[in-house]
Amino acid sequence: MKELSIVVMFDAVLVGCGVFLLLLVFFLVWDWIVHRQLVRGGPGGRYVLITGCDSGFGKHAAQRLDAAGCHVIGMCLMAEGASALRDVCSSHLTAVQMDVTDEASIQQAFTVVTDLLQPNKGLCSRMMTVMCLL
């Protein structure tokens, strides 16, 4: 009887591992397909919104994606940061001053973004896609 229960437990573990591997393969294939759809055709013509473009990673990402041909909407806290970003990027970049603690500032940024994008268009992406474009 003990041997039977060990065999049943072993079979259950194998089935569990098989299901896990099947789900993992399904997720990886799905992720690959979605990622391929997002970056098909390259970055040119795509609109990317990046926050924190005054300095650091946000500024670097805005510069790189602008150089790759994306239309970058860079959100900056300070007017000086927005001005500096405009100086080092092409005309594809739109620098917007936005303070997340100020409702009027958020509404102004929202208006700028909706005016730039076509109606009913938008894309939510993952950091992996951004890193592949860099």
For residue 131, the number of C-alpha atoms closer than 13 Å in the C-beta half-sphere is 3
Residue 35 has pLDDT above 50, yes or no: yes
pLDDT of amino acid 130: 43
How would residue 134 be classed by pLDDT, with cut points 50, 70 and 90?
A: very low
Q: Tell me, what's the pLDDT at 75?
A: 92
Tokens matching residue 26: 């399904």
- Taking each continuous run of H as one helix and of E as one strand, the counts in the chain are 5, 3
Structure token digits, residue 67: 């150089």
For the CA atoms of 53, 54, 60, 62, the dihedral, rounded to the nearest 10 degrees, stands at 30
44-101 per-position pLDDT tens digit? 667 888 888 988 888 998 998 888 888 889 999 998 999 999 999 888 899 999 988 8
What global pTM score does this model have? 0.59
